[in-house]
Amino acid sequence: MASRSLHPLVAQARAFANQVLRPRAGEFDAAYAVPADVISAMAEQGFLASMLPVEYGGAGLDALSYGQLTAEIGKGCNSARALLTVHTSLVGETLARLGSPDQKLTWLPRLARGESIACFALTEPETGSNASAIKTTYQPVTDGYLLQGRKKWITYGAIADLFLVFATCAGEMSAFLVERGNPGLSTHRITGLLASRGAHLAEIELDNVTVPADALVGRLGAGFSFVANAALFYGRYSIAWAGVAVAEAALEEMVSYARRREQFGKKLRMHQLVQALIADAVAGVHSGRALCEKVAALRDAGDDEAINEANIAKYVTSRLAVKISADAVQVLGANGISERYPVERLYRESKVLEIIEGSTQIQQMLIAEFGIRRYRAPATLRPAGTPPSKESI
């Protein structure tokens, strides 16, 4: 699968990451912001339009090319990559699939050009993994809906122009497009973070925000089963590649350091136990990338198995990112905990990948349910005399 021809944007993303993002990623982390000039440059390069339909100004990338592009940007700066996940995947791809014709015509060209930045507002102060329990509400009013509630940990929420907001009414969740200029909407930047410091995280307050009837995305009551689940599939695919990105960046830092650093009279790369860490990291990066490439092929083929495989890939690569970045810190020793070396930041960034777009524990539940349905020994292998199973799966 890796031999397939990739879109030229992937090579552009690699050059942009090496020339612009990687040298400045520590700066963005310290400043708690990917700056406006970098976001504008990402839009000008076409990265924000990458997965959006051509008819709306997008590049119409295939899934593999988009995944590889995401990984290249993620290797350069995880906070810059996060913009692709929320703006292009969670909101852009969701609108392209589920938005009304007017919503697509109004918003997708603006998102493709980077004229408007979009964010995904599902998580709340008291509700994370259990998204069906959100407390933000909506009420039908004349010519629209009234929204009331709070959202938290919203990536790029501090600077977003468009919010895809999820709210409930009488136990049913619906999704709405809310513009920053709506009276009653305010954002509050979040600082003091372990990771994603440059990704403009914010808390969103919706104080009697009125939106027009055509702000509804999809059908009333279909916000969770239809809109959120579709968006989270796109997001998990993006995060799976983010895990590959952080893991590979950590591997590169580990190997580069081991090639030049000497201990006990020889280069670190010559010590067997360091070689073992490098071997594990290489195998991990290759296996994680192969999983993501499989999901890409399934997505492009329109195969529903892509959903389960995306859950598996996100679960595996996020854990690999944590392990490989931790091993990179170990190889660098005391230098590994210094902000002068990128592995300190990569180690912090890796952990957030196990939390966002469905935590590791949520993925374990989903994967276990899939495994229980899919894998069991054939009946011919039952011990002689064992009656047929009455289990219901």
Q: Pick from 321, 282, 291, 316: which is nearest to 1 by CA?
A: 291
Mean pLDDT score, 141-151 = 96
Distance of CA 237 to the CA centre of its chain: 7
Distance of CA 145 to the CA centre of its chain: 29
- pLDDT-derived band at 1 (thresholds 50, 70, 90) equals very low
- For residue 390, pLDDT over 60 is answered with no
Mean pLDDT score, 251-277 = 93
- pLDDT-derived band at 367 (thresholds 50, 70, 90) equals very high
- pLDDT-derived band at 385 (thresholds 50, 70, 90) equals low
- pLDDT-derived band at 2 (thresholds 50, 70, 90) equals very low
Evaluate whether the domain defined by 120-221 bears CATH number 3.40.630.30: no
Q: Can you say whether the dihedral through the CA atoms of 194, 196, 198, 199 is positive or negative?
A: negative
Q: Catalytic residue numbers? A: 357
- For residue 157, pLDDT over 70 is answered with yes
190 or 1, which is more confident: 190
What is the tens place of the pLDDT at every residue in 59-103? Answer: 999 999 999 999 999 999 999 999 999 999 999 999 999 999 999
5 or 101, which is more confident: 101
d(CA 269, CA 32): 35
d(CA 273, CA 271): 6
The correct CATH number of 8-116 out of 2.60.120.620, 1.10.540.10, 3.90.600.10, 1.20.1280.290 is: 1.10.540.10
Report the greatest alpha carbon distance in the chain.
78
d(CA 206, CA 188): 12
- For residue 382, pLDDT over 80 is answered with no
Mean pLDDT score, 220-249 = 93
The correct CATH number of 224-372 out of 3.40.1260.10, 1.20.140.10, 3.30.70.420, 3.30.70.1290 is: 1.20.140.10
Q: Pick from 172, 182, 165: which is nearest to 216 by CA?
A: 165
Q: Is 360 left (phi over 0), alpha (psi -120 to 50) or beta?
A: alpha
What is the pLDDT, as a whole number, of residue 4?
67
Strand, helix or coil for residue 18:
helix
Mean pLDDT score, 199-206 = 98
* 282 close to 355: Cβ distance less than 8 angstroms: no
- For residue 319, pLDDT over 90 is answered with yes
Q: What average pLDDT does the structure give for the chain? A: 94
- Min mean pLDDT across 1-10, 76-85, 193-202, 304-313 is at 1-10
What is the pLDDT, as a whole number, of residue 393?
45
- For residue 185, pLDDT over 60 is answered with yes
Q: Where are the domains of the chain?
A: 8-116, 120-221, 224-372
What is the pLDDT, as a whole number, of residue 134?
92
- For residue 392, pLDDT over 80 is answered with no
171 or 43, which is more confident: 43
Mean pLDDT score, 288-306 = 97
